[in-house]
Amino acid sequence: MRVLTCLVTFTIAAALAGLGAAASDEPPLNLTPAVAAAERWLATLDSGRYTDTWEEAATIFKDGAPRSFWEPAVQAARQPLGGVIARKVRSMRYVNALPNAPPGHYVIIEFDTHFEKRPLSVETVTPMRTKAGDWKVAGYFIR
């Protein structure tokens, strides 16, 4: 789990857990595309295509977790868990500010995930809306 702790250091995962996040009761946009983007990204991660997850991530993610760090760290954290048996959205919330991140549109999504070798984990994926209007993962954390 030390590798997982390092993942947190190089992403905005502490912010994703809600520390100091500014929540909004009324998100100004449809959050369905954010959830879809998170699910696509997780499917890529589940297939072991770690390089692709880094390539598909938001710039803030790439800046916080260089590819040379991300690939071996996420592999070391995920492979011992085995394959994904089931995953469902536990919660989601829109925020427009996160510590150590630029203001923007973020959705903090928690998934209940059942792995082959770990019956219940919580994955937190935070997509952010880019200037082009699409959603890209800005952070990932698993506990």
The pTM (predicted TM-score) of the whole model is 0.82
d(CA 121, CA 119): 7
How much is the pLDDT for 54? Answer: 98
Helices (H) and strands (E) in the chain, counts: 6, 5
pLDDT in 10s for each residue of the chain, 143 residues = 444 333 433 344 433 344 344 444 455 678 999 999 999 999 999 999 999 999 999 999 999 999 999 999 999 999 999 999 999 999 999 999 888 889 999 999 999 999 999 989 999 999 999 999 999 999 999 99
- Residue 28 has what pLDDT? 62
Residue that is written with structure tokens 């995953």 in the block: 87
Distance from the Cα of residue 84 to its chain's centroid: 16
Residue type, position 109, single letter: I
